[in-house]
Amino acid sequence: MVVCGLACWRCRWLLPLLLGLAIIMGIIALAGRGWLESESEPYVQQASLWESCTRGEEDLNWNCESLMDYGWGRAAAATYLVGFVILVICFALAVIAFSIEILRFNFVRGIGGLLFVVAAFQIIGLVIYPVKFTEEIPLTGDNMFSWAYGFGWASTVVVIGCAFFFCCLPNWEDEVLGNIKPSCYYSSPERAPYLN
């Protein structure tokens, strides 16, 4: 006999865990200096969300300028940071929602809506940065948007996925709460002739 059903009482912590992963990736993106880097030697340029640094081919010291002096730099940082703060709030709300015995599924759907807002803010910041950076900052040599910028996009993709799951979760309220009896399917028709 095979028993099919959604055993989600323990699995319900997967969504807050994924939000925690998105927070970790967001912290790496916010703190990382690898938003833009020189692609090959000599490594003469690197940038973060907050500043752009260059150096000469023989120079060991980086000369940095703040991107907060540019309107687009403040806009990119602000939109990504606002999205990150809302993400942290959604994580706290998700932990609270999944900690109580009787889940309030409309509350969970609201978290999903907030996560779409997070994704919108993060996408705006992640699009403003490369477009305006390449227009207004003189680039030296071959450059690439690097690992910290990739962590920003990875965080956004996880947030979008979680937003869909949080919005769709109330459709399976009974399965998550264990209110329905699992369906049983028999593997051979000889054992259950009344099914024919």
Model confidence over 69-113: pLDDT tens digits? 999 999 999 999 999 999 999 999 988 887 776 666 668 888 999
Distances (CA, A) of 138 to 59, 68, 134: 18, 16, 7
Residue 12 or residue 190, greater confidence = 12
CB distance 157 to 123 below 8 Å: no
pLDDT score, position 64: 87
Element (H or E) spanning 48, and its range?
A: none
Do the strands 143-145 and 36-38 form a parallel or antiparallel pair, or are they unpaired? antiparallel
* Region 56-66 average pLDDT: 82
Domains of the chain, earliest start first: 20-172 (1.20.140.150)
* Region 157-161 average pLDDT: 95
Distances (CA, A) of 39 to 9, 57, 112, 142: 47, 14, 38, 5
State which amino acid sits at residue 29: A
CB distance 176 to 8 below 8 Å: yes
Residue 155 or residue 103, greater confidence = 155
> Quick one: pLDDT band at residue 184, thresholds 50, 70, 90?
low
pLDDT score, position 5: 42
pLDDT at 117 over 90: yes
* Region 126-154 average pLDDT: 88
Whose CA is closest to 15, among 167, 133, 129? 167
> Quick one: pLDDT band at residue 1, thresholds 50, 70, 90?
very low
CA distance 177 to 100: 11
